[in-house]
Amino acid sequence: MTRSILAITGADRVHFLQGLITNDVDRAAGGIVYAAMLTPQGKYIADFFVIGEPDRLLIDVDAALAPALAQRLGMYRLRANVQIVLTDLAVSCGTGPAPQGALADPRHPDLGWRHYGDGTFGDATDWDALRVALLVPQSGVELGPESYILEAGFERLHGVDFRKGCYVGQEVTARMKHKAELKKGLVRVAVEGVAAPGDEVVAEGKVAGVLHTVAGDRAIAYLRMDRAGGEMRAGDAVVRLE
């Protein structure tokens, strides 16, 4: 997946971003946090990493989402002392020994490291298989304009801070947090047979959800929790919750 790096500079950069995104920007100082930007209705716009450097904040985001994210951030800039530019920095990722200057992926220890610099390098990690094993969503696959981040596991992946105060979409996210349980969400399933991303998951004759990333005999599915369970079907495969 191609990544782009935005740089946010200016004296108001931390305060500016703090009021917009789901995680605590202060925690990125000298390190990295995972976060998202939401609509006022609490739906997904983009997920990204925020890297705190001495004189700027970097945002590591899917390249396909970078222009819209930069435009959305610019809408909120108003009179703040903030500049938002696209850089030519490259992102490298791996799960082997970390190179000098790399940062540990904040979502899960097994996701390895991320490095920002002039060129790209990495290792032979099977990222789809690893994402499925760890139940980690990807923008454009499990994450889209209708996604709610709590259904996608952002709390488990350290992508949302419920103590930081207000941000765009915070009210909806907080209400979902305090529900007794989520009615829908991403889950990992075992797949016996042939199934493909986009196949409907059917349980007892009713559509329970859809498959997303498939890696070998496992997959990530988005399911209605009241219909998920037992022996389900997707494509020509039997699907079961893990």
Assess whether 119 and 29 both reside in one domain.
yes
- 8-state DSSP, 21: B
Assess whether 194 and 150 both reside in one domain.
no
pTM: 0.95
CA 235 to chain centre: 27
Assess whether 93 and 129 both reside in one domain.
yes
44: containing domain = 3-177
Assess whether 98 and 26 both reside in one domain.
yes
User: What CATH number should be reported for the domain holding residue 97?
Assistant: 3.30.1360.120
The candidate with the shortest Cα–Cα distance to 187, out of 234, 145, 240, is 240
Residue type, 135: L
How far apart, in whole angstroms, are the C-alpha atoms of residue 11 and residue 202? 53
pLDDT for 178 equals 87
Assess whether 99 and 150 both reside in one domain.
yes
Query: Which residue, of 177, 206, 228, is where some domain finishes?
Result: 177
Predicted confidence (pLDDT) per residue in 91-100, tens digit: 999 999 999 9
| Domain total of the chain | 2
Assess whether 131 and 214 both reside in one domain.
no
Query: Which residue, of 177, 208, 230, is where some domain finishes?
Result: 177
Assess whether 79 and 192 both reside in one domain.
no
pLDDT(33) > 70 = yes
Assess whether 84 and 34 both reside in one domain.
yes
Assess whether 135 and 201 both reside in one domain.
no
User: Can you tell me whether residue 172 is helix, strand or coil?
Assistant: helix
Find the mean pLDDT for residues 59-70. Answer: 97
Confidence at 180, pLDDT banded by 50, 70, 90: low
Confidence at 1, pLDDT banded by 50, 70, 90: low
How far apart, in whole angstroms, are the C-alpha atoms of residue 224 and residue 187? 10
Assess whether 156 and 206 both reside in one domain.
no
Assess whether 88 and 15 both reside in one domain.
yes
Backbone angles phi, psi at 46, to 5 degrees: -160, 150
Find the mean pLDDT for residues 227-231. Answer: 92
Query: Which residue, of 177, 195, 219, is where some domain finishes?
Result: 177
Assess whether 168 and 233 both reside in one domain.
no
pLDDT for 181 equals 81
Residues 6+ apart with CB under 8 A from 218: 129, 132, 133, 188, 189, 190, 191, 242
First vs last Cα of the chain: how many Å apart?
27
Distances in whole angstroms, Cα of residue 180 to Cα of each of 41, 135, 157, 159, 172: 20, 22, 20, 21, 15
